[in-house]
Amino acid sequence: MLDALRFEWTRLLTLRSTYWLIGTGLLVTTGVAVLLGVAGRNDPISSEVVWIALNGAAGFGLPFLAVFMAIIGIFACGHEYRHGTIQPTLTSLPQRNRLIVAKLAVVLTTTLIVTLVQMGINLGVVYVVWGEAPGLFEDPLGTSMIGYVLYVLLYVLVGFGLGLLFRGVPSALVVIFLMPLIIENMIFGLSTIPALDWLVPVVKFLPFTDGARMMELAAPEFGPESPDFDLFTRWGAGGVFALFAALILTAAWVLFKKRDA
């Protein structure tokens, strides 16, 4: 297994895209904290500001860092097929399970380290500007930050699985951005139309929407007119997202074992 890990680390570290994707992810996410600091330095800080600063405004859509790290996840297998390197890879490391485990370990460890570093940098910005980070280790802020880390990891896992499933980069990129940004938002929006109220029970099972609930500071309010979505709790919703990631990964892994390289 150590050989496989050594292979995968070398593969990741010898790609230029690894550096610019991580660099851009850190830069953009830190930029949000800096922007908040510049704009609100004279206002008293609240736990909501700390929340936005630390996760780079992840609560308003997709976390920037997750997007860039998911591309690294997609590249982990997608690049192998796109550039035909799967052949030399499998002739140097023919045990397919070992290869996938090594790829997962390296991609997820890198994601975890980069996410923690990013939170550390953003926390540094908060301390430099305000000198404090109220509620950081308390519920709900502390819990939502754990949810943020888990969301990034699961999102990268989905990207990894899609890259392996589609055996390429473009299709995986389309699915991982299209589903949360367009398809799930559209289903949610359509479910509020009375004629399409049969979509209401579906909303609680939308995987990316559920995943995003792990990062919430407060439960969402849809107003008195909106249907009762009967949403899961933070961790229940996180479980749906984790199950979705596991299904994608399992399907990709089983097919990887069965398919010709």
Burial 85-114 (b: 16+ CB within 10 A, else e): ebeebeeeeeeeeebbbbbbebbbebbeeb
**Is residue 6 close enough to count as binding other proteins by CB under 8 A?**
yes
Q: Is 23 a binder of other proteins (CB under 8 A)?
A: no
Give the separation between CA 167 and CA 241, rounded to whole angstroms. Answer: 22
Identity of the residue, 99 or 119, whose beta carbon is nearer to other proteins in the bound complex:
99
Q: Kindly tell me which residue out of 23, 61, 84, 236 binds other proteins, with binding defined by CB under 8 A.
A: 84
Tokens of 149: 């880390």
The reply on whether position 170 binds other proteins by CB under 8 A is no
CB-based contacts of 81-87 (< 8 A; 24+ apart in sequence) = 81/167, 81/168, 82/168, 82/169, 86/261, 87/261
Residue 167, interface with other proteins (CB under 8 A)?
Answer: no
Interaction between residue 92 and other proteins (CB under 8 A): yes
**Nearest CB to other proteins, comparing residues 84 and 124:** 84
Residue 89 Cβ vs other proteins, minimum distance, rounded to whole Å: 8
CA–CA gap between residue 115 and residue 25 (Å, rounded): 10
* Sole residue written with tokens 């297994």: 1
Of the ranges 53-61, 190-198, 232-240, 253-261, which one interacts with other proteins (CB under 8 A)?
A: 253-261
Give residues in contact with other proteins (CB under 8 A): 3-4, 6-7, 9-11, 14-17, 79, 83-95, 258-261
